[in-house]
Structure 1
Amino acid sequence: MGNRSRIVLLALGIFFVGVAVMARFYAYPTLAVAPPDQVAHTTSTTTQDGTVFVVATQKETQLPLTSTRTVRGDVVAAEKIGQALNREVVVFDTAVVTDDDPAYAFPSEDDAKRDDKAPLSFVQERVVLDAHTGEAIAWDPDKATDNSGEYITTTLKTEDRKRPGDQVFKDGHQGLVLKFPFGTEKKTYKFWDSTLRQAFPIEFKGETELLGLKVYKFVQEIPKSEVPQAAKLKVPGALIGEKGQPSVVVDRSYQNTRTLWIEPVTGAIIKGEEKQLATIDYNGEVKITATDATIGYDDATVKKNVEGATVDGKAEGGYAEKASQLNLIGFWVPLLSLILGLLLLGLAGFLSLRPKARRAA
Structure 2
Amino acid sequence: MKARLGAVLFGIGFFAVVLAAGVAFYVAPSAARLPYDLKLCTPEVTEDCLKPSVAEAKNARFLNTEGGTTPVVEIATGTLQSTTEIKPLVDTTNNEIKNGAIDDNTVIWNAFGTVIWTEKDKVVSAYEARLALDRQTAGAIKWPGQELDDVAKGLDTTAEVETVGFSGQLYKFPFNTEQKTYQYFDRDLKRTFPIEFKGIESIQGLETYKFEQAIPETALDFDEDRIKSLLGAFAGPDATSGQVVYSNTRTIWVEPVGGTFIKVQEQQNKKLVPSTGQPTELLNGVFVYTDQTVANSVESASATKAQVLLISRYVPIGLSTLGVILLIVGLLLVTSARTASPRHAAGSRTEEITGQPASTSAS
Letter in 1 for 2:272: I
Residue 151 of structure 2 aligns to a residue whose secondary structure is coil
Q: Could you tell me which residue of structure 1 aligns to residue 257 of structure 2?
A: 265
Structural mapping, 1:113-262, within 5 Å: 119-140=123-144, 149-155=145-151, 160-163=160-163, 169=164, 172-229=165-222, 233-235=227-229, 237=231, 239-244=233-238, 248-262=240-254
Letter in 1 for 2:141: I
In structure 2, relative to structure 1, the CA distance for the partners of 1:284 and 1:331 (3 Å cut) is farther
In structure 2, relative to structure 1, the CA distance for the partners of 1:237 and 1:3 (3 Å cut) is closer
Deviates more, 1:222-231 or 1:119-128: 222-231
* d(CA) in 2 for partners of 1:174, 1:55: 32
- 1:158-191 Cα offsets, whole Å, 9 max, x none, are 972101xxxxx3xx10101111111111111111
In structure 2, relative to structure 1, the CA distance for the partners of 1:237 and 1:231 (3 Å cut) is closer
Residue 259 of structure 1 aligns to a residue whose secondary structure is strand
Structural mapping, 1:290-309, within 5 Å: 290-307=282-299
Q: Across the two proteins, how many residue pairs are aligned to each other?
A: 320
Residue 133 of structure 1 aligns to a residue whose secondary structure is coil
- Identify the match of residue 319 of structure 1 among 296, 301, 321: 301
Larger RCO, structure (CA 8 Å, separation 6 or more): 2
Superposition CA RMSD, Å: 2.6
Cα distance, 1:236 vs structure 2: 5.8
Contact kept? 1:15, 1:341, Cα under 8 Å:
yes
- Identify the match of residue 95 of structure 2 among 80, 83, 95: 80
Letter in 2 for 1:194: R
Q: Specify every segment of 5 or more residues in structure 2 that has no aligned partner in the other structure, as ranges.
A: 41-49, 67-71, 344-363
Contact kept? 2:78, 2:119, Cα under 8 Å:
no
Cα distance, 1:103 vs structure 2: 8.5
In structure 2, relative to structure 1, the CA distance for the partners of 1:278 and 1:355 (3 Å cut) is same
- Identify the match of residue 282 of structure 1 among 267, 274, 277: 274
In structure 2, relative to structure 1, the CA distance for the partners of 1:51 and 1:79 (3 Å cut) is same
Q: Could you tell me which residue of structure 1 aligns to residue 59 of structure 2?
A: 49
Q: Does 1:66 align with 2:66?
A: no
In structure 2, relative to structure 1, the CA distance for the partners of 1:336 and 1:265 (3 Å cut) is same
Contact kept? 2:32, 2:175, Cα under 8 Å:
yes
Letter in 1 for 2:148: I
Letter in 1 for 2:236: E
TM-score normalised according to structure 1 size: 0.81
Identity %: 28
TM-score normalised according to structure 2 size: 0.80
Cα distance, 1:289 vs structure 2: 0.4
* d(CA) in 2 for partners of 1:72, 1:132: 18
- Identify the match of residue 312 of structure 2 among 330, 333, 349: 330
Contact kept? 1:20, 1:337, Cα under 8 Å:
yes
* d(CA) in 1 for partners of 2:246, 2:231: 21
Cα distance, 1:54 vs structure 2: 2.1
Q: Could you tell me which residue of structure 1 aligns to residue 7 of structure 2?
A: 7
In structure 2, relative to structure 1, the CA distance for the partners of 1:354 and 1:4 (3 Å cut) is closer
Q: Could you tell me which residue of structure 1 aligns to residue 115 of structure 2?
A: 98
Letter in 2 for 1:320: S
Pick the structure with greater CA Rg: 2
* d(CA) in 1 for partners of 2:27, 2:270: 46
* d(CA) in 1 for partners of 2:8, 2:324: 14
In structure 2, relative to structure 1, the CA distance for the partners of 1:335 and 1:234 (3 Å cut) is same
Letter in 2 for 1:70: E
In structure 2, relative to structure 1, the CA distance for the partners of 1:13 and 1:285 (3 Å cut) is farther
In structure 2, relative to structure 1, the CA distance for the partners of 1:50 and 1:237 (3 Å cut) is closer
Cα distance, 1:320 vs structure 2: 1.0
Cα distance, 1:255 vs structure 2: 0.8
